[in-house]
Amino acid sequence: MYAVILTGGKQYRVKEGDLLSVEKLDAGQGETIHFDQVLLIEDGENILVGTPVLLDAVVRAEVIEQYKDEKVLVFKKKRRKQFRRTRGHRQQLTKVRVGGIFPDKSLAPAVEAPVPKPKPEVTVTAPAAKAEAKTPEIAEAPATKAAAKAKKAAAKAKKGARDTRSKAAPKAKTVGKKTAAPKAAAKTRKATKE
pLDDT, tens only, 16-55: 999 999 999 999 999 999 999 999 999 989 999 999 999 9
Residue of 152 and 194 predicted with greater confidence: 152
Portion of the chain with pLDDT greater than 90, in percent? 52
Portion of the chain with pLDDT greater than 70, in percent? 64
Cβ atoms 10, 23 nearer than 8 A: yes
d(CA 57, CA 43): 13
Q: Is the dihedral of CA 173, 174, 179, 180 positive or negative?
A: negative
Residue 123 has pLDDT above 90, yes or no: no
